[in-house]
Structures are given as C-alpha cells and as structure tokens.
Structure 1
C-alpha cells in the first residue's frame, strides 16, 4: 500500500511539473497556448481522485486501519 501511495504522489507531482513546463513553454513565440497544460492538470486531478478512492477501498477492506488522535479529557 505504501508503494502505491508513493507512486501516486510521484505521478501527481510529475503531471504538475509537466503542466508548469507547458505553461512556461507555450505562448512565448506568439502562438496560442495548446491544451497540453489543461490535459496535464486534468491528469493530476484524476491521479488525486484515484489515490483517494484507493485509500478508501484499502480502509474498507481492512488493509489499513485509522489510528486517529486520542481525545484528552
């Protein structure tokens, strides 16, 4: 499970970095911006949702247990 979370974070950061690259590259030479940046950001959102759903499923099937913060009295 840890490897899946780390891999998802790397994918999220990679797509965010590619969106930054396309944002800086496109439009400098007078050409209109392409949809590459929007596509990279859409992948980032998709990876984030996939990570959230995987964590919920892992909790539901008992692979991970929430520990929480103990309440003080």
Structure 2
C-alpha cells in the first residue's frame, strides 16, 4: 500500500519537474508543458481516489495525531 502511494507521489513530482524543465528550457514547448501538467493533475486525482477507495474498503485506517 505504502509503495503504491510513494510511487504515485514520485510520479507526480516527476511530471511537475518535467513541466518546469520544459517551461524553462524552451519557449515553444507549451504543448509539452500542458501534457506534463495534465499528467500531474491526473495522477493527483487518481491518488486521491485510490486513497478514498482504500479507506472505504478498510485497507487503511485513520489514526490520531499525538
């Protein structure tokens, strides 16, 4: 479970870094930047839905902060 979440967060960070790199590197890469940001948003939504589904199915349990 934790591995899936960590891999998705790393994918989100990679997509964000790729968008930043393409934005800084060249001025004509708006399509590439949009694709990378779309991928980041899609991964973020998928991670959110996965966490909600995991909670609903009882795979994860909330705990209090001490």
Q: TM-score, normalised by structure 2?
A: 0.90
Deviation beyond 3 Å, 4+ runs, structure 1 = none
Map residues 9-28 of structure 1 onto 2, 5 A cutoff.
Answer: 9-27=9-27
In the other structure, the counterpart of 2:44 is: 48
Structure 2: tracts of 5 or more residues without a match: none
Name the count of aligned residue pairs. 66
How far does residue 69 in structure 1 lie from its aligned partner after superposition?
4.6
How far does residue 33 in structure 1 lie from its aligned partner after superposition?
3.7
Distance 2:29 2:18 in 1: 14
Higher helix share: 2
Q: TM-score, normalised by structure 1?
A: 0.82
In the other structure, the counterpart of 2:33 is: 37
Structure of higher CA gyration radius: 1
In the other structure, the counterpart of 2:3 is: 3
